[in-house]
């Protein structure tokens, strides 16, 4: 039996409720937080932006750059 394969995503966006919903949606689909969130001020847009890495273990598959990780 093959071990599960770990996949990784980094979610980014403006620090607002929509971003929080995107992270919560990922968590509800089996993704787990990986590390701490990051925050940075975008002076051009005048907003705070944030990012959060998430990981998930899935059945092994042949990886390619065409894989839609958010759909795994």
Q: How far apart are CA 52 and CA 54, in angstroms?
A: 6
Domain around 16: 5-61
Sites in the chain below the pLDDT cut of 70: 1
Q: How far apart are CA 26 and CA 49, in angstroms?
A: 18
Q: How far apart are CA 6 and CA 56, in angstroms?
A: 6
Question: In this structure, is residue 22 part of a structural domain?
Answer: yes
To the nearest 10°, report the CA torsion of 35, 41, 42, 44.
-170
Place of tokens 């944030």: 50
pLDDT at 55: 98
Question: In this structure, is residue 49 part of a structural domain?
Answer: yes
Question: In this structure, is residue 12 part of a structural domain?
Answer: yes
Tally of domains in the chain: 1
Provide the CATH number for the domain around residue 51: 3.30.70
Question: In this structure, is residue 72 part of a structural domain?
Answer: no
Nearest in space to 11 (alpha carbons), one of 23, 3, 2, 1: 23
pLDDT at 71: 82
């Amino acid at each position: 039996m093959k071990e599960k394969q770990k996949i990784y995503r980094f979610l980014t966006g403006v620090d607002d409720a929509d971003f929080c919903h995107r992270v919560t949606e990922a968590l509800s689909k089996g993704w787990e937080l990986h590390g701490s969130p990051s925050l940075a001020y975008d002076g051009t847009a005048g907003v705070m932006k944030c990012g959060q890495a998430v990981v998930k273990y899935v059945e092994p598959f042949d990886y390619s750059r065409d894989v839609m990780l958010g759909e795994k």
